[in-house]
Chains A and B, each alone.
Chain A
Amino acid sequence: KNEVEQSPQNLTAQEGEFITINCSYSVGISALHWLQQHPGGGIVSLFMLSSGKKKHGRLIATINIQEKHSSLHITASHPRDSAVYICAVPLYGGATNKLIFGTGTLLAVQP
């Protein structure tokens, strides 16, 4: 069983739609990361959050530590939002805290 699971794996939306991507995890954490990767591109960190909600432009991330669940919302989606969105949680132990990654959600926003 994966320790970090994302849904859906693939998502196609029309421009302007409200989008939600979900992430559930089974390990204990203090913070969760949302990452974005455009086709052929590197990875950009969108959010790191440990409680409540964070907002950056049209992107909103929420987390419920008790339920071990986080969501990434995109309001008024645009074709430039088309990318892979990855959630990741730190696994504690050893000399450092490595990240456990979900397999990503491929989002395509059509004009």
Chain B
Amino acid sequence: DVKVTQSSRYLVKRTGEKVFLECVQDMDHENMFWYRQDPGLGLRLIYFSYDVKMKEKGDIPEGYSVSREKKERFSLILESASTNQTSMYLCASRSRVYEQYFGPGTRLTVT
């Protein structure tokens, strides 16, 4: 079974803190994605990576950065967390036949 894991299910941070969300997949997938999910807006793509050290901006990259130093790990970084970044964050990886596998999600609250 493909497994995509995320470092935390729930996270509470203060405004201005630096936040790291970690995602690990165990199927040697090249492509990995970070989404945020908000009520009424659905899933929106923040960043994606198609190889180690390669990254591209998604639809809403402002306020976020990413890191992909190893193939299995894709990190999302909030340099200075703000309350409007309170959301559910979902990581996904994708096989060569385009099936996406999602992690369990991290519910981040910024106070």
Contacts and interface: CB of A to CB of B under 8 A. Distances in A.
Interface of A: 31, 33, 35, 41-45, 48, 86, 88, 90, 94-99, 101-104
Nearest to B99: A48
B42 A86 contact: yes
Nearest to A99: B100
Contact of A43 (B31, B41, B58, B102): B102
Given A43-B105, A48-B98, A99-B43, 12 more contacts: A31-B98, A33-B100, A42-B103, A42-B105, A45-B100, A45-B101, A94-B56, A96-B48, A96-B56, A97-B98, A101-B43, A103-B41
B33 interface: yes
A31 B95 CA distance: 14
Contacts of A96: 31, 48, 50, 56, 94
Interface of chain B, helix or strand or loop or mixed? strand
B109 to A, nearest CB: 14
B102 A42 contact: yes
Interface string B73-111: 000000000000000001010100111111111000000
B48 A98 contact: yes
Interface of B: 31, 33, 40-43, 45, 48, 50, 54, 56, 58, 90, 92, 94, 97-105
Contact of B90 (A43, A88, A103, A104): A43
Nearest to A94: B56
Nearest to B105: A42
B33 A98 contact: yes
Nearest to B41: A103
A41 B41 CA distance: 17
Contacts of B33: 98
A86 B104 contact: no
Given A96-B31, A102-B42, A103-B41, A45 B102 contact: yes
